[in-house]
Amino acid sequence: MPDVSGWKGATLPRSAKTPRHARQAVRRWLAGSVAAVESNALLVVSELVTNVIQHVPTGVQRDWVKVRLGFADDFVRVEVIDPGTTRSQPRFKPLRQGSTKRRGRGLGLVADLSVRCGTHIAACGDRIVWADLAAGVPDAAQEAIQDIGDSVHARPRMRPLSVRPSQPAGLTAFRSR
Ligand SMILES: Nc1ncnc2c1ncn2[C@@H]1O[C@H](COP(=O)(O)OP(=O)(O)O)[C@@H](O)[C@H]1O
Ligand SMILES: [Mg+2]
């Protein structure tokens, strides 16, 4: 996997306002980025955080949602982490053209907006859903990206533009998985 660093993140208390708070955090972290990256990141984080509120049960020590952004040379990774559930698992169904179904579109939209996205469960049981967002136009070369052990949905490669925020100084660097 490409190197992702300069992570920014927050653990948000869970409520009906969490999607809004997540969007506010993402907007702040992406200040100075390419506008398309910011608007895609806001949509993606909204969908992923809303999914946690809708599909992951609450409970003692479960009333939180973590949101993280990581920066690579040509994409931004959006991660949303929840305490996990055995009731369901994220399904990235492709969006059907002309479909008027109201439910089951969120992760299809996320897959559509991202170069790749996926989900896995951490050793501690937390669920991670992530999406890599690039700025650019579709490249002619298409490449299937394989990531054993993770459920990854690959899209055509994008020609990169810089997506790093203008002032990344002072961020803690982590290695990507
Ligand atoms: N964080 C999550 N944990 C467990 N299941 C999830 C999570 N996010 C999504 N899902 C499952 O994936 C399905 C598809 O999600 P989505 O495309 O956003 O549609 P919708 O939220 O409208 O049902 C959901 O219906 C749910 O069963
Ligand atoms: Mg949804």
Angle between the 35-55 and 106-113 helix axes, to the nearest 10 degrees? 150
CATH homologous superfamily of domain 5-154? Histidine kinase-like ATPase, C-terminal domain (3.30.565.10)
Instruction: Give the pLDDT of residue 149.
Output: 47
In ligand 1, the atom with minimum distance to the C-alpha of 93 is 17
Tokens (6 digits) for 132 = 């890599």
Q: Are 58 and 87 in contact (CB under 8 A)?
A: no
Angle between the 35-55 and 18-29 helix axes, to the nearest 10 degrees? 150
Helix and strand counts by DSSP (H, E) for the chain: 3, 6
Which region among 32-46, 85-99, 155-169 has the lowest average model confidence (pLDDT)? 155-169
Instruction: Give the pLDDT of residue 26.
Output: 97
| Angstrom distance (rounded) from CA 152 to CA 119 | 7
Q: Are 108 and 44 in contact (CB under 8 A)?
A: no
Q: Where are the domains of the chain?
A: 5-154
Instruction: Give the pLDDT of residue 2.
Output: 74
pLDDT digits (tens, 9 = 90+) for 67-87: 999 999 899 999 999 999 999
- The ligand with the least distance to the CA atom of 103 is 1
Cα separation values, 88 from 55, 96, 113, 137, 139, Å: 7, 22, 23, 34, 35
Return the higher-pLDDT residue of 94 and 27: 27
* Residue 28 falls in which region: left (phi positive, over 0), alpha (psi -120 to 50) or beta: alpha
- The ligand with the least distance to the CA atom of 104 is 1
Question: Ligand 1 pocket by C-beta < 6 Å: which residues?
Answer: 47, 51-52, 54-56, 82, 85, 88-91, 103-108, 127, 129
Residues bordering ligand 2, an ion, CB closer than 5 Å: 51, 106
Residue 162: closest CA among 71, 70, 74, 77: 74
pLDDT digits (tens, 9 = 90+) for 118-176: 999 999 999 999 999 996 434 333 333 334 345 565 554 444 444 444 333 332 222 23
